[in-house]
């Protein structure tokens, strides 16, 4: 997390240094394709430091509709003047457009890539009342009973689909506007589990109503050294969908 924050700060400060002498002279907007948690939490951590360094307010704009596609559309339509950036997780870029008959944006044609800024720690969580203390125990339980699963964004949806391919009897995967909403539904027991960012899962874990079973990343997360990866429990394909985050600007934004 600290490395990601440092990188994000360096990216925008470097971008600012290449602009005109009077840049920036007004607030900078950062489009975030989510509500509370995930990328949104990350941006809120760095916005005050960015504001202090740049001398102008840095304002996050939440655009969670359409599984985050609203954020991509907003950046596509923004004026390319260096005052609007998008902090996008990988699902918004490589997950949404291929699934749409008429994609709302083309990442190559509509965005200027600035840099990768972080790899998210993405976790597999379940309701604490489920009789499973490990992924293998969950798989055994999930093959014996029909369950409902929550998701927010493409990574969560695809991860649930992978569980189904391993025989878990997920009868419905319910979409939520924000990861925190999905976590709340797991806390209440209305949903069996979900795949979300660690930042979104923390409140549920601290309440004792949510259990963390694994991370989907290819390596264990630094903040969770004792938690195994899905690869370590026999499902290495999950690492391929582990999300990353990047900074983008509207096409034709001046260097």
Over residues 123-130, the mean pLDDT reads 97
Structure letter (DSSP) for residue 33: S
What pLDDT score was predicted for residue 16? 55
Question: CB of 232 within 8 A of CB of 225?
Answer: no
Choose the weakest-confidence range: 65-69, 106-110, 131-135.
65-69
Q: How confident is the model at residue 1 (pLDDT cuts 50, 70, 90)?
A: very low
The predicted-structure confidence for 177-202, as pLDDT tens digits, reads as follows 788 889 999 999 999 999 998 988 99
Over residues 5-28, the mean pLDDT reads 64
- The CATH code belonging to domain 122-241 is 3.40.190.10
Percent of the chain with pLDDT over 90: 49
Contacts of 104 (CB under 8 A, 6+ apart): 66, 69, 72, 73, 76, 96, 97
Residue 210: strand pairing partners: 127
Higher pLDDT, 38 or 158: 158
Question: CB of 148 within 8 A of CB of 246?
Answer: no
Q: Does residue 126 carry a pLDDT above 50?
A: yes
> What is the secondary structure of 208-247 as a DSSP string?
TSEEEEEE-SSS--TT-TTSPBTGGGT-GGGGGG--EEEE
Q: Does residue 4 carry a pLDDT above 50?
A: no
Instruction: Select from 196, 217, 38 the least CA-distant residue to 126.
Output: 196
What superfamily does domain 2-120+243-250 belong to in CATH? Bordetella uptake gene, domain 1 (3.40.190.150)
Structure token digits, residue 114: 């600035």
Please, what is the average pLDDT of the chain? 86
Which residues of the chain does CATH 3.40.190.10 include?
122-241
Which residues of the chain does CATH 3.40.190.150 include?
2-120+243-250
What pLDDT score was predicted for residue 48? 83
What pLDDT score was predicted for residue 37? 57
Choose the weakest-confidence range: 27-31, 67-71, 209-213.
67-71
- Per 3-state DSSP, what percentage of the chain is helix, strand, and coil (rounded to 5)? 40, 25, 35
Choose the weakest-confidence range: 106-115, 122-131, 142-151, 208-217.
106-115
The predicted-structure confidence for 32-83, as pLDDT tens digits, reads as follows 887 755 566 667 777 888 888 888 898 989 888 877 789 999 999 999 998 9
Q: What is the dihedral of CA 212, 36, 240, 98, to 10 degrees?
A: 140
């Amino acid at each position: 997390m600290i490395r990601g924050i440092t990188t994000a700060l360096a990216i925008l400060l470097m971008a600012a240094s290449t602009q005109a002498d009077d840049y920036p002279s007004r607030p900078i907007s950062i489009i975030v394709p989510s509500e509370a948690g995930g990328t949104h939490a990350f941006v809120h951590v760095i916005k005050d430091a960015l504001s202090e360094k740049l001398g102008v307010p840095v304002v996050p704009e939440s655009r969670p509709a359409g599984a985050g596609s609203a954020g991509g559309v907003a950046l596509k339509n923004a004026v390319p003047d260096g005052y609007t950036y998008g902090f996008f997780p990988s699902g918004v870029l490589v997950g949404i457009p291929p699934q749409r008959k008429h994609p709302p944006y083309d990442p190559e044609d509509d965005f200027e890539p600035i840099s990768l800024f972080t790899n998210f720690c993405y976790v597999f969580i379940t309701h604490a009342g489920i009789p499973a203390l490990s992924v293998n125990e969950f798989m055994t339980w999930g093959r014996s009973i029909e369950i409902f699963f929550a998701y927010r964004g493409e990574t969560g949806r695809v991860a649930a689909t992978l569980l189904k391919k391993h025989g878990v009897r997920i009868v419905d995967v319910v979409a939520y506007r924000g990861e925190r909403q999905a976590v709340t539904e797991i806390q209440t027991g209305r949903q069996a589990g979900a795949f979300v960012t660690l930042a979104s899962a923390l409140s549920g874990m601290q309440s004792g109503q949510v259990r963390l079973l694994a991370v989907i990343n290819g390596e264990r997360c630094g903040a969770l050294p004792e938690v195994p990866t899905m690869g370590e429990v026999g499902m290495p394909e999950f690492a391929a969908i582990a999300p990353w985050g990047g900074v983008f600007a509207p096409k034709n934004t001046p260097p």
